[in-house]
Amino acid sequence: MNKLRIGISIGDINGIGLEVILKTLSNKRVLEMCTPLLYGSTKIVSYHKNIVGLDMQFNSTKGAERFSANRVNVVNCWDDNVNITLGQATESGGKYAFQSLQAAVKDLQNGLIDALVTAPINKKAMQLANFPFPGHTEYLAEQFNAKNHLMLMLNDDLRVGVATGHIPVSEISKRLNKKLILEKLAILNTSIKADFGIERPTIAVLGLNPHASDEGVMGDEEEKMIRPAIIEAKKSGINVMGPYAADGFFGSGMHKKFDAILAMYHDQGLIPFKTLSFNAGVNYTAGLPIVRTSPDHGTAYDLVGKNMADFSSFRRALFSAIDIARNRMEYQEMHKNQLVKRADKLKQVEEKVEDIVEEHKPIKTVNN
Supply angle C-alpha 213, 215, 218, rounded to 5.
35
| Cβ-proximal residues to 169 (8 Å cutoff; 6+ apart), any chain | 265, 267
pLDDT at 166: 84
pLDDT at 355: 58
Number of Cα atoms under 13 Å in the Cβ half of residue 80: 11
The per-residue DSSP string of 68-117 comes to -TTSEEEEE---------TTS--HHHHHHHHHHHHHHHHHHHTTS-SEEE
Instruction: Give the model's confidence band at 213: pLDDT under 50 very low, under 70 low, under 90 confident, else very high.
Output: confident
Domain ranges within the chain, ordered by starting residue: 1-146, 148-287
9 CA to centre of own chain: 14
Highest mean predicted confidence (pLDDT) among 19-23, 50-54, 331-335: 19-23
**pLDDT tens digits, one per residue of 85-103:** 999 999 999 999 999 999 9
Do the domains 148-287 and 1-146 match in fold?
A: yes
Q: Could you tell me how many residues make up the chain?
A: 368
| Cβ-proximal residues to 16 (8 Å cutoff; 6+ apart), any chain | 120, 299, 300, 303, 304, 309
pLDDT at 214: 73
pLDDT at 64: 92
The per-residue DSSP string of 319-349 comes to HHHHHHHHHHHHHHHHHHHHHHHHHHHHHHH
Indicate the pTM of the whole model: 0.86
Supply angle C-alpha 351, 355, 357, rounded to 5.
115
pLDDT at 238: 97
**pLDDT tens digits, one per residue of 35-63:** 999 999 999 999 999 999 998 889 999 99
pLDDT at 368: 45
CATH superfamily of 1-146: Isopropylmalate Dehydrogenase (3.40.718.10)
Burial of residue 106, with CB atoms counted within 10 A of its CB: 0-12 exposed, 13-18 middle, 19 or more buried = middle
* Mean pLDDT confidence for 12-20: 97
pLDDT at 363: 53
**pLDDT tens digits, one per residue of 244-270:** 999 999 999 999 999 999 999 999 999
| Statement: residue 120 has pLDDT above 80 | yes
Which CATH architecture describes the domain 148-287? 3-Layer(aba) Sandwich (3.40)
* Mean pLDDT confidence for 217-236: 91
* Mean pLDDT confidence for 151-177: 93
Pairing of strands 260-263, 292-295: unpaired
